[in-house]
Amino acid sequence: MPSFETTMLIGGRRIEGQGVPLEVENPFTEETIAMVGTADEGQLDAAIGAAREASRAWMRTAAVDRAELLHEVAEGIRARTDELAEAMTLEGGKPLVENSDEVSWVVACFRYYAEIGRDSAGRVIPSIESTQLAMVLKEPHGVWGCIVPWNYPLLLLAWKLAPALAAGNATVCKPSELTPLSTLMLADCLDPLPPGVVNLVAGGGDVGAAITADPRVDGVAFTGSVETGKKVGHACMDRVARVNLEMGGKDPFIICSDMADRLDVAAKGGAWAAYLNSGQVCTSAERFYVMDDVYDDYVNAFVEVAESLVVGDPMQPGTDIGPMVSASQRSKVAGQVEAAVSSGAELLVGGDSGGNDSGHFYSPAVVTGAAAETSLLSEETFGPVAPLVRVKSLDEAIELANSTPYGLGANIYTQDFKTILRCMREIKAGTVWFNDPLTDNDAGPFGGFKQSGLGRELGREGLEAFQETKHVHIESEVAPKEWWYPYSQYAGGADQPHGA
């Protein structure tokens, strides 16, 4: 068993948490692999205070200098790819190959924001008079709280941390209580940054709530459930703090009739979208709407792919599907499937332990015949389940795709450009993928419609989320204006005041 970093990072110092310790479980062996002390009230106060103090100098640091430091952070993370990937696998259950990919995406995110953070600080706009200069400035807020879930602990932190730092903010970051180890391991990679610019604290919902409520925290970036996200949003609105929320999803996946000759590819893409990280992805495909004339063939192709996947030890190179993160998460997924089957649906394959004697496994499931009102088709599942639904037309598929309170992502397989145009315009989702599911792009904004969230991460929009906008108006002629007082000068038909 490797040794793990369990100390927090506060004001540039590694500190043992003095709060109630967290037991970190390996979801494959179900053994406790580490104990992590959480931040008590005094330590959290110190972390926020350190961020507030560090923000004053950091926001004045030249953007080009901040960029160089972020590149150093990226290089430090890249150098520790193997260690970080192993830690994420042991604490979260995602296959090692997927976690190695995650680390590379983290590095790319830091490098992207290192560059665009020094690309622009605003813009010059047309002035009212020739003697004036008018500008729009983009400035940091000060301190941001970053609250991160367990499914992609480093990537979803990077999506917040990298743009926040590039914009000139200091941060207080809290990983999930289920997966704190990999985040705490980042401390050494953050050494190039001034002390206090990044603070890493461990804890549960109480620590997250305290960060959200603290008046010294200017904004909170959160990824997690709708229920918790609403609480974060309300707490921030109560004190008019900035907030960025990425919450739940129930992403649709549409298979069109013109894919009849490529159903094998569409089945592999669908399985990837449904089962990646055991279905524990914000943008997992959780509802498949398949045109009637290709439905039977698609079901057969999908089942064939699902049955071929290797379910087992996530540290082994040949494993496709690892365990789910916790017993409670597995229980929720199993409950949704059981309720659907009780209501008349059919479980074609999966839904068991995949032959494993220990671990929170739920083998890739394919379900048909589920009613639209079941939780399996209306509520977030967050597990390796693919409910396949027969539809008669694209009209019906789009209507069903838009039928939930969510709007994070959507996938469509089609070879018809007119169908692409229609779906991209009519489907209510923050990201719409055609023929290539779940591909993220650092330059492309990520976020949701409806209850899936507020604001965007990634892209320039992701940088602007951590910036305040200021209008600056400069007049070079320090002299009275003809439109000032007294208004009596306009009596008798003289020109009206400027802007009247």
pLDDT tens-digit profile of 265-303?
A: 999 999 999 999 999 999 999 999 999 999 999 999 999
Question: How far is C-alpha 184 from the geometric centre of its chain's CA atoms?
Answer: 19
In a domain, 463, yes or no: no
Residues 294 and 213 in one domain: no
- pLDDT for the residue numbered 267: 98
Residues 34 and 158 in one domain: yes
DSSP-derived 3-state class of residue 223 = strand
pLDDT tens-digit profile of 102-156?
A: 999 999 999 999 999 999 899 999 999 999 999 999 999 999 999 999 999 999 9
End residue of a domain, out of 441, 458, 474: 441
Instruction: Taking residues 423-452, report their average pLDDT.
Output: 97
Longest dimension (CA), the chain: 95
In a domain, 492, yes or no: no
Residues 259 and 220 in one domain: no
Report yes or no: 435 and 419 within 8 Å, Cβ to Cβ: no
Residues 217 and 261 in one domain: no
Residue 2: band (very low, low, confident or very high) from pLDDT cuts 50, 70, 90: low
Residue-number span of the structural domain to which 231 is assigned: 8-247
> Which secondary-structure segment (H or E) carries 399?
helix 394-401
Residue 489: band (very low, low, confident or very high) from pLDDT cuts 50, 70, 90: confident
Torsions phi, psi of 254, nearest 5?
-105, 130
Indicate if the pLDDT at residue 492 is higher than 70: no
CA–CA dist 129, 464 (Å, integer): 29
Residues 416 and 312 in one domain: yes
Torsions phi, psi of 350, nearest 5?
85, -165
Q: Amino acid identity, residue 409?
A: G
Q: Amino acid identity, residue 457?
A: E
In a domain, 273, yes or no: yes
Residue 488: band (very low, low, confident or very high) from pLDDT cuts 50, 70, 90: confident
Q: What percentage of the chain carries pLDDT values higher than 90? A: 94
Q: Left if phi > 0, otherwise alpha if psi is -120 to 50, otherwise beta: which for 158?
A: alpha
In a domain, 142, yes or no: yes
Gyration radius (Cα) of the chain, Å: 26
1-10, 19-28, 95-104, 223-232: lowest mean pLDDT where?
1-10
In a domain, 487, yes or no: no
- pLDDT for the residue numbered 497: 55
DSSP-derived 3-state class of residue 1 = coil
Indicate if the pLDDT at residue 499 is higher than 60: no
Active-site residues: which are they? 246, 282
Residues 398 and 258 in one domain: yes
Residues 280 and 378 in one domain: yes
The CB density around residue 92, as the number of other CB atoms within 10 Å, is: 32
Domain total in the chain? 2
- pLDDT for the residue numbered 3: 76
pLDDT tens-digit profile of 237-256?
A: 999 999 999 999 999 999 99
Closest CA to 288 of 340, 251, 249, 248: 251
Cα dihedral sign, 244-219-102-120: positive
The DSSP result for 134-176, as a single string, is EEEEEEE-SEEEEE--SSSTTHHHHHHHHHHHHTT-EEEEE--
Token reading at 91? 């604490």
CA–CA dist 497, 366 (Å, integer): 71
Question: How far is C-alpha 17 from the geometric centre of its chain's CA atoms?
Answer: 26
Residue 487: band (very low, low, confident or very high) from pLDDT cuts 50, 70, 90: confident
Residues 141 and 231 in one domain: yes
Which CATH number fits the domain that encloses residue 60? Answer: 3.40.605.10
Residues 229 and 257 in one domain: no
- pLDDT for the residue numbered 480: 84
Q: What average pLDDT is seen over the chain?
A: 96
Indicate if the pLDDT at residue 184 is higher than 80: yes
Q: What is the DSSP letter of 21?
A: P
In a domain, 240, yes or no: yes
In a domain, 482, yes or no: no
Instruction: Taking residues 177-198, report their average pLDDT.
Output: 97
Residues 352 and 238 in one domain: no
Whole-model pTM: value is 0.96
Residues 319 and 184 in one domain: no
CB-based contacts of 131, cutoff 8 Å, min separation 6:
475, 476, 477
Beta bridge partners of 124: 135
Q: What percentage of the chain carries pLDDT values higher than 70? A: 98
CA–CA dist 99, 493 (Å, integer): 75
Indicate if the pLDDT at residue 163 is higher than 60: yes
End residue of a domain, out of 402, 421, 441: 441
Residues 241 and 283 in one domain: no
Indicate if the pLDDT at residue 77 is higher than 90: yes
Alpha helices in 258-386 (DSSP H): 263-275, 292-308, 327-342, 375-378
In a domain, 107, yes or no: yes
Q: What angle do CA 139, 142, 143 make, to 5 degrees?
A: 140
Indicate if the pLDDT at residue 495 is higher than 80: no
Closest CA to 279 of 308, 236, 321, 229: 321
End residue of a domain, out of 441, 475, 493: 441
Indicate if the pLDDT at residue 387 is higher than 80: yes
Closest CA to 171 of 18, 9, 391: 9
Which CATH number fits the domain that encloses residue 437? Answer: 3.40.309.10
Indicate if the pLDDT at residue 370 is higher than 70: yes
